[in-house]
Each structure stands twice: as C-alpha cells, then as structure tokens.
C-alpha cells in the first residue's frame, strides 16, 4: 500500500496533500531521489542520501533534518508500506512561500517520502530490447542547471520522453550542447564494443547514476575494460550492444536506436550477463 510521510506526518494516497504555494510546485524548486527496496531492504540508501544532500547543497537548499534521521524515516516508510519490492521517492522542496520566485519567502524546506509499488518493464520486453530515439530537446547545459543536481526541474526530460512517445519509441536519449550523447530521460547510457564497456564521464554533465556505478563495478568484475568516455550517436549505431541503466529500469537493453538495429537487435550476450549479475547483486 502506498505510504507517504510529509514533514513528520504519515498519510495514505488519499490524505497526502501539499500547499499550492509550495515552491516545488510553483517553480520546480527542490530536489528528489528515486530509490528501490528489494526484499524489504533499501538498495544503496547511503549513496542516494549523499546524492540528495549534495543536490540540495548545490542549490542552496538546507534540508531540515540530519541524514541519519532521514534514513530512519525512509526505512520506517518502507516497513509501514508492507511492500517487499518497492519504489521510494524522497523529495525536498524549497517549501511554502509566496507567489514570487524569491526563496527567502520560504522559511522552511518541506520533506516528503513516498513509498509505492514499482512498475517495471515486463521480462519479454527487456529480452526484445527497447527502441530508442535521439530527442531534439538537449540536456540542460551543466552551467545552467547542472544535470548532476537531481532537481524537481524535469521539464526537459519530460519533453524528451514526449518525443519518444510521439515517435512510438520506448525511450529517448538526450544530447548535450556539444551534440554528445548525455543520458536518457531517467537512465544513463552504456555501449559495448568488443571487450570494452563505455559510458559518458560525469564531468560531461550527466547525473551520477547509482546503477551506473554498480554496473561499472560489475562490468569490471566480468573482465570487461570499463571506460568513461564521451559517446557520440555513431558509437551507439555501431556498438555490439547498448543498454540503459537506472534505479527503475535496472539494465534495459537497446534493440534499435534512431531506426538502426543495434548489434543482434535484441538483448546481447554481454548485456544479458550483466543483467544476471545485477539481479544477483541486488538480492545479496
């Protein structure tokens, strides 16, 4: 059952409400995380909390609770939900202010935790592989709103996802200002060529995906050469295999990109091996 905590109070889906004067709603002024629980245990919670507090610090947003206390709230929310496999969405908004942009009008940040069921790609869809396009909407420039901040400002990502919907594709990849491939609307990108597994470097201006980090470790363990390098669309077109990684998507193979068949046109052997390693890792 969906369990929601807002500023110290427990709610259901029906009773959870936020103010229309909250700057998270009015201006997308806030930060969030997407976390999973497997078998009742929260996956990589410390890493997610570090990223949340870093995002808040970067936008000068003071989270009115210590990390350790917030950790307990999140764990209690999962326990109260009764869900073994769950999706967890912590949110910190600038809080309630007035209709002006000025954050000084928001005396206290608002904190929310939502725990709900996780909706995942069906196994046969993953086996087939996803169809992905390049979005015309670029990722925000890292010096405008850094993609390393996981902020509530996801409108560019929503636009890219809409482009995928309009094109009848499953997902979209966003380019950076230089035309390099940055990331998906909620995933990082990897390409496999021979024994080498490549993903764009963080300084390119992408979110430091927690799944990305785990997959890089698993790929190294599997004996691949793992490199953080700029990736262009050509690299994906000509890859042996390509896949997306994210908390919700886990590892999602790409079968087609911009109409080109990628590798064998379904989940390739190295991607399937990494998916298996990932499944074992999260259950450990």
Q: Which residues bind ligand PMP (CB under 6 A)?
A: 34, 157, 183, 186-188, 207, 209-212, 245-247
CA 61, CA 138: separation in Å to the nearest integer? 26
Minimum distance of ligand PMP from residue 247's CB (angstroms): 3
Minimum distance of ligand PMP from residue 145's CB (angstroms): 12
Q: Which is nearer to ligand PMP, 96 or 257 (CB)?
A: 257
At residue 46, φ and ψ (nearest 5 deg) are -60, -45
**Dihedral angle computed from the Cα positions of residues 170, 175, 181 and 186, in that order, rounded to the nearest 10 degrees:** -50
Reduce the DSSP state of residue 254 to 3 states and report it. Answer: strand
Cβ atoms of 239 and 198 closer than 8 Å: no
266 catalytic per annotation? no
**Dihedral angle computed from the Cα positions of residues 255, 258, 259 and 264, in that order, rounded to the nearest 10 degrees:** -30
Minimum distance of ligand PMP from residue 87's CB (angstroms): 11
Q: Are strands 9-11 and 3-6 parallel, antiparallel or unpaired?
A: antiparallel
Q: Which is nearer to ligand PMP, 77 or 139 (CB)?
A: 139
Considering 150, 161, 266, 270, which one is annotated as catalytic?
Answer: 150
Distances (CA, A) of 277 to 48, 119, 221, 250: 21, 21, 10, 11
Q: Which is nearer to ligand PMP, 52 or 96 (CB)?
A: 52
DSSP assignments along 202-226, one per residue: GGGT----HHHHHHHHHHHHTT-EE
Minimum distance of ligand PMP from residue 253's CB (angstroms): 16
In sequence order, the β-bridge partners of residue 251 are 245
Minimum distance of ligand PMP from residue 34's CB (angstroms): 5
Q: Which is nearer to ligand PMP, 55 or 110 (CB)?
A: 55
Q: Which is nearer to ligand PMP, 29 or 183 (CB)?
A: 183
In sequence order, the β-bridge partners of residue 198 are 191, 227
Active site residues: 150
């Amino acid at each position: 059952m969906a369990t929601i905590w807002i500023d110290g109070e427990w709610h259901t889906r029906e009773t959870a409400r936020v103010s229309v004067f909250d700057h998270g709603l009015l201006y997308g002024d806030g930060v969030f995380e997407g976390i999973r629980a497997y078998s009742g245990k929260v996956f990589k919670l410390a890493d997610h909390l570090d990223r949340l507090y870093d995002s808040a610090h970067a936008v000068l947003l003071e989270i009115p609770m210590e990390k350790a206390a917030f950790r307990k709230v999140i764990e209690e929310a999962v326990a109260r939900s009764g869900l073994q496999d769950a999706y967890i969405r912590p949110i910190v908004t600038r809080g309630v202010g007035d209709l002006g942009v000025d954050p000084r009008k928001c005396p206290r940040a608002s904190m929310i935790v939502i725990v709900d069921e996780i909706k995942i790609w069906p196994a046969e869809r993953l086996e087939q592989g996803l169809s992905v396009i390049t979005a015309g909407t670029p990722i925000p420039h890292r010096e405008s709103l850094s993609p390393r901040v996981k902020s509530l400002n996801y409108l560019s990502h929503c636009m890219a996802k809409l482009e995928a919907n309009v094109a009848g594709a499953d997902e979209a990849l966003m380019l950076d200002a230089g035309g390099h491939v940055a990331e998906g609307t909620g995933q990082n990108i990897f390409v496999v060529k021979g024994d080498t597994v490549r993903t764009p470097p963080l300084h390119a201006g992408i979110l430091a995906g927690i799944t990305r980090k785990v997959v890089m470790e698993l790929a190294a363990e599997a004996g691949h050469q793992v490199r953080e390098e700029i990736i262009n669309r050509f690299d994906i077109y000509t890859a042996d295999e390509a896949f997306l990684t994210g908390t919700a998507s886990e590892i999602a193979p790409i079968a087609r990109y911009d109409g080109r068949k990628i590798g064998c046109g379904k989940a390739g052997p190295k991607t399937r091996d990494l998916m298996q390693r990932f499944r074992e890792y999260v259950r450990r």
